[in-house]
Structure 1
């Protein structure tokens, strides 16, 4: 999704328009997540950009996009650009730290009394 959204359209409430834009973005992400993954990938990662225009758009985490939409809306901006591209990725498991297992064992001793 590469799209410039307008926040002020004549005849429409700007707050309702902002909510409709957020809904459209969430719907797009859900649709992309439903697609079948290619062989070797185990989740969909999203490369996102957000800015006032295409030229000044900066990389951003997917979870921050709606917050930035609110910021632009409250600042009185007329429009903003959103780019969300899905790509297959492989999530690697985290290594458990040995110290955390020792802490869990010491906590178990507390309940033995």
Structure 2
């Protein structure tokens, strides 16, 4: 998901806009986690970027994404850019070496 979200909308309470945004992010993460994993991958990892625009982003951990959104709302940003890329994790089990 690569998207610019408005944090304020005309004729809507800004608290409700933020709640709807959080819901959309959580729904996307849940949908991605429920996808079938490729063979040898135990779980999904998410690469997240957050900023005021696509050019001004920084890496954010997926668990800190909602807090970053709250921080942007507190700083009265007009919009924010969120990028979430799901990738299968590498196999974490040790492999046996051939002797």
Query: TM over 0.5, yes or no?
Result: yes
Structure 1: which 5+ runs fail to align?
Answer: 94-113
Question: How many angstroms apart in 1 are the aligned matches of 2:75 and 2:59?
Answer: 20
Q: What corresponds to 1:103 in structure 2?
A: none
Deviation at 1:91, TM superposition (A): 5.2
Give the superposition deviation at 1:8. Answer: 1.0
User: Which residues of 2 match residues 1-113 of structure 1 at below 5 A?
Assistant: 1-90=1-90, 92=92
Higher relative contact order (CA 8 A, sep 6+): 2
Instruction: Kindly report structure 1 stretches of 4+ aligned residues shifted beyond 2 Å.
Output: 90-93
The answer to whether the 8 A contact 2:7-2:78 is kept is yes
Q: How many residues align?
A: 93
Output the aligned Cα RMSD. Answer: 1.0
Higher helix share: 1
The structural deviation recorded for 1:40 is 1.2
The higher radius of gyration belongs to 1
